[in-house]
Amino acid sequence: MANVSDRPDAGIPPAEVPDLPLPHPHTWWGRYVFSQDAKYIAIQYSGTAIAIGLVGLVLSWLMRLQLGFPGIFDFITPEAYYQFITMHGMIMVIYLLTAIFLGGFGNYLIPLMVGARDMVFPFVNMLSYWIYLLAVLVLVASFFVPGGPTGAGWTLYPPQAILSGTPGGQGAGIILMLVSLILFIIGFTMGGLNYVVTVLQARTRGMTLMRMPLTVWGIFTATVMALLAFPALFVACVMMLFDRLLGTSFFMPALVELGETLSYGGGSPIVFQHLFWFFGHPEVYIVALPAFGIVSDLISVHARKNIFGYRMMVWAIVIIGALSFIVWAHHMYVSGMHPYFGFFFATTTLIIAVPTAIKVYNWVLTLWKGDIHLTLPMLFAIAFIVTFANGGLTGLFLGNVVVDVPLSDTMFVVAHFHMVMGVAPILVIFGAIYHWYPKMTGRMLNEAMGQIHFWVTFIGAYAIFFPMHYVGLVGVPRRYPEIDASFITTPVAGLNAFISVAALVVGAAQVLFLFNLLWSLRAGRAAGPNPWRACSLEWQTPDTPPVHGNWGKDLPVVYRWAYDYSVPGAPEDFIAQNDPGPRIEKDVPL
Amino acid sequence: MIVALILLLLVLGSVIFHLVSPWWWTPIASNWAYIDSTLVVTFWITGIVFAAVVLFLAYCVYRFRHQPGRKADYEPENKRLEVWLTVATSIGVAAMLAPGLIVWKQFVTVPSEATEVEVVGQQWSWSYRLPGADGKLGASGVNWISADNPLGVSPHDSNGADDVIVEGGDLHLPIGKPVKVVLRSVDVLHDFYVPEFRAKMDMVPGTVTYFWFTPIRTGEFEVLCAELCGTGHAFMRSYVQVQEQAEYDAWLGEQVTFASLQRPRPVRVAAEP
Amino acid sequence: MSIVLVFLLVVALIAGWWLSRQGLTSKPWLETGEIRTTAGVGAAPAAKIGLGVFLAVVGGLFALFGSAVTMRMDYADWYQLRLPSVVWINTAILVLSSAVLQIAVSAARRGESALLLASVAAGGLSTLAFLVGQLLAWRWLVDSGQSLAAHPGASFFYVITGLHGLHILGGLVALARTGGRLRRGNDPRRARLGVELCAIYWHFLLIVWLGMLALLLGWASDLVALCRELL
Ligand code: HEM
Ligand SMILES: [Cu+2]
Ligand SMILES: [Cu+2]
């Protein structure tokens, strides 16, 4: 294994990783549309994800308008409301977050951070994007078919998902949704193979696993998980398509729908739920682990301090990834499955809390005695810690089976998962964009606009989702377009209106962010190659933005881990990973 | 400076909101006060952790903010601290899990003296069935459903003849008697949810699910559906009336049995059993 | 979900074994300097590692179908699927094509290009025969009253054989491309790698097929029951 040589100045030949035969496009189409360059694919992925994410955002406004001011917006019928929540949920979780973290950041950062010229299978990588785009288009198409998109909830539980009592259930809505998911999974698998094999196979010389930035660890582990978890959704979707189109009874029991006996019989909705959550729970971590990794790097760079407990952080990522495959049924405590499963799944769920908590501690401890630059990426990282701590802790309510009984399927759940897998990862995405935009474009994002965007988003999102827990605690169920019920002793209407106003304001701030993205492309301050003075390899490219092939003639050689900040005795407060550097006796407390 | 201050205000605001806000759970009407206590324990532990983490964060942001000449420490890890934190976290987690599992054990152990009450969900209304004088519910299945047998009670099971059928009305329960709520659905998933009882459970077509509780307070409690079941999901309502035994008996006397519902016409034998 | 959990356990063991050799306990901040390791998983080419990862995904997919079958089996309306004997012929053919591709691999290693070409062609043709045979099995099933929606065992049979067939078709495309490369002969190294990858893929799909067949015929559950009794 890592046999350390003490002679950094020994004559080192260029990296031994066999240089990949890079496809060199000759046409305009090959360069700008069907590009096989991971950096370009990353931008295509992110752009598409953000575009569809905006649809999800607009849907959330419509939902909040209805919840905050019921009865005013006639066009938001219950049918429409259910279609909105379903499309909003699915878009946000799959087509925005999964796509942007893995397809976007994964594609951009993995090759640069491990010192590769590109992904190992560039053509497959390109196909991945086009299939993703197709999946998005199929999804969007369902808005325009008769009957509209499906309103089955993002969980798509049968039997209702394919019956006439649910919007889109007997129309094309549900079919398009299932087809789109199947396409997404196929496309993702193509990309995912690239991310995994690139990390395994194309690391440059000296880049051992333990020298990789945590960003790569997070994305890598999340991709492995996604490759193993998405097939469960695939299987569920295929079987449901058969039930819907060809009359099989995989998930469909004998039932009488609105007085009419259907020809189904014998199937089990619970089987679907098991398959769905076998995917669904790891999915939470598929968006969380990349966020964990990225935020670790943001904190370390902007606090000028190595990440505290790097090894623990790596282990925690791997352990969380593995454990998250045996907790899925905590989403099914009240589903009618065998009650004794509750003991097992509550225990595993709370065990996962331990490595997760360690990660939070280590982020905060990294700040301890740091040299904290309150740049925009750092602000977003701090906001992430707050939001994630909040959402993670409410997860302990829902994981603890008996406490979940009154809370499940209430707005408490909605508040919880928005904090933990909605707002928290999105904050990291923003932080990451502020952080890497200079590398991608050569220009800094505008600071003033960024500050406004940050404060409105952070405080606003907290103001949306913190009070929402109490709406759920009162007992208001989720997926209710309006609520009047005798159990509500203190009316929640005022609180709901407040939440809705906050949601509109937060949404508006995102428009400012998008404007900033475009505006700074031209008018931003020139950034230089390494504006944050960061160690990791992506900042050491010969060109900014990096060109096709990333590294010029020779691949970089790595001499150290990615966190040599403020090393005692070093002339500067960072030493780049590919810097053989002066020999420094590190006097490290062990 | 300002960042640290805002973090401080955020913690203060959250704590104050928690303490003074009027939004809290509805007064409990069942024996599941234990669930509430577990929830309160969880609130305390998690609340303290949240406040501690964010306050520490605020302190760091203030104390170690960049100033000319500041240099960060170099500290890759600190084993003692990490082990200590891991152990403390595990203890906190165990302190929440243990009572939770104990209460769950009670939740899933139905007392033998509990009487059965069946709740049947369909898009988008509730019906109820009580076991009648023999104390047993008759068999049921969706293939027996017909206009005058909406719940699909088996006409061949003699236990079913005296079952009391409540269609479209309220469910009445005597106070202080444990009930096992047997749940059935004829079409899609529903979830029988009365916030005051704390307990809830999905109803799954094709299988029978259950939970149990003891009503401890008389009154009228609204029934909601807590599992998305289609367009009418939010409007699927009913009431549970918890009454003193005498009142309850009077109500029970007025109800119709399955047999009497069937009498006007000869029993229709469904095509397939 | 036990089948997929067992499958994941195997994946986790392999991953754990590999990770255990990556120095995850080393202290990277102390190890400044050049590290003389080529990155990656030894000398294996990326395509081979890629195939390995892909097979893990495919394995997961079919393991999940297996889990779905076992879960669905527990419901009252399940009864045993009846299969035509052509299924056994198909199985034999698939074993044969797998074996032929293995011959191709060794021919490629020894540089016997005539045998190599012949065995790749034979492998492709026999695999086509397998697919045709599966279609015949579907025909027979329909004729015997076990159409798609007739009973859950049959539904699973169609879905699983369909997906398995699609995977085989994908493999055939790759095999055809490899064959073309062999005929043109201008890139022998890549062609040889292609043959090897195809052979691995075929073996894998053969195992998947045997597993699925055992499951749908109820042998797997018989086996489990037997083990339970022994314990
Ligand atoms: C400002 C941003 C957002 C607002 C105001 C918002 C608002 C809402 C609302 C009102 C609901 C429906 C609640 C109900 O009636 O059950 C909902 C559901 C949901 N949201 Fe968001 N949301 C936002 C961002 C996100 C993000 C970033 C995610 C990504 C994880 C997300 C994921 C979901 C999911 C999965 C559902 C559940 C859909 C369902 O019940 O089927 N949301 N959101
Ligand atoms: Cu989960
Ligand atoms: Cu409902």
Q: What is the pLDDT of residues C142-177, one digit of tens each?
A: 999 898 988 999 999 999 999 999 999 999 999 999
Interface of B with A in 180-219 (CB under 8 A): 183, 186-189, 191, 193-196, 198-207, 209
Predicted local confidence at residue A551, as pLDDT: 87
What one-character DSSP code corresponds to residue B272?
-
Q: Is the pLDDT of residue A584 over 60?
A: no
For ligand 1, the distance from its centroid to the CA atom of residue B184, given in whole angstroms, is 30
Predicted local confidence at residue A94, as pLDDT: 96
Residues with Cβ within 8 Å of A210's Cβ and at least 6 positions away in sequence, in order, are A2, A310, A311, A314, A561, C22, C23, C24, C26, C28
Task: Tell me what the mean pLDDT of segment B52-72 comes to.
Answer: 92
Q: Where are the alpha helices (DSSP H) in A368-400?
A: 376-399
What whole-number percentage of chain A has pLDDT above 90? 76
Contact A586 C39 (CB under 8 A): no
DSSP letter string over C99-144?
A: HHHHHHHHHHHHT-HHHHHHHHHHHHHHHHHHHHHHHHHHHHHHHT
Specify the pTM: 0.94
Kindly list the structural domains of chain A, giving each domain's residue range(s) and its CATH number in brackets, ordered by start: 35-251+268-540 (1.20.210.10)
User: What does the mean pLDDT of chain A come to?
Assistant: 90
DSSP letter string over A247-301?
A: ---SS--S-EETTEE-S--S--HHHHHHHHHHHHHHHHHHHHHHHHHHHHHHHHH
Instruction: Find chain C residues with C-beta within 8 A of B206's C-beta.
Output: 75
Max CA pair span of chain C:
71
Token pair, residue A567, equals 């090393």
Q: What is the pLDDT of residues B233-249, one digit of tens each?
A: 999 999 999 999 999 99
Q: Is the pLDDT of residue A100 over 90?
A: yes
Q: Choose the mutation target among C29, C71, C74 for the interface with B, i.e. most B CBs under 10 Å.
A: C29
Contact C41 A266 (CB under 8 A): no
Q: Is the pLDDT of residue A259 over 50?
A: yes
The burial of B246, by beta-carbon neighbours within 10 Å (0-12 exposed, 13-18 middle, 19 or more buried), is given as exposed
Q: Is B273 on the interface with C (CB under 8 A)?
A: no
Contact B188 A306 (CB under 8 A): no
Predicted local confidence at residue A516, as pLDDT: 95
User: What does the mean pLDDT of chain C come to?
Assistant: 89
- Select the residue of A16, A274, A318 nearest C71 (Cβ to Cβ): A274
pLDDT confidence tier of residue A2, bands split at 50, 70 and 90? very low
Bridge partners (DSSP) listed for residue A565: A574
Q: Where are the alpha helices (DSSP H) in B64-153?
A: 79-108
Kindly list the structural domains of chain B, giving each domain's residue range(s) and its CATH number in brackets, ordered by start: 2-66+78-108 (no CATH), 115-261 (2.60.40.420)
Q: Which amino acid is at A279?
A: F
Give the integer Cα–Cα distance in Å for C84 and C69: 20
Give the integer Cα–Cα distance in Å for A324 and A285: 7
What one-character DSSP code corresponds to residue A435?
H
CA angle B176, B177, B181 (to 5 degrees): 125
Give the integer Cα–Cα distance in Å for A365 and B82: 10
Task: Tell me what the mean pLDDT of segment B62-86 comes to.
Answer: 90
Predicted local confidence at residue A98, as pLDDT: 96
Min Cα–Cα distance to chain A from C41, Å? 6
Q: Residue C65 half-sphere exposure, CB side, CA atoms within 13 Å? A: 30
**Domain range summary for chain C, segments of one domain joined by +:** 82-230
CB atoms within 10 A of CB A451: 12
Q: What is the pLDDT of residues C21-44, one digit of tens each?
A: 888 888 888 888 777 655 554 567
**β-bridge pairing B115-122 and A260-261:** unpaired
Look at chain B and count its residues: 273
Contact A475 B96 (CB under 8 A): no
Fold of the CATH domain C82-230: Four Helix Bundle (Hemerythrin (Met), subunit A) (1.20.120)
* Nearest residue of chain B to residue A258 (CA atoms): B123
CA angle A214, A219, A224 (to 5 degrees): 125
What ipTM does this complex have? Answer: 0.94
Min Cα–Cα distance to chain A from C164, Å? 13
Bridge partners (DSSP) listed for residue B256: B165
Predicted local confidence at residue A20, as pLDDT: 58
Looking at ligand 1, which atom is closest to the CA of residue A481?
Answer: 15
Q: Is any atom of ligand 1 closer than 6 Å to the C-beta of A314?
A: no
Q: Kindly list the distances between the CA atom of residue A277 and the CA atoms of A150, A281, A326, A331, in Å, as whole numbers in the listed order.
A: 19, 5, 10, 7
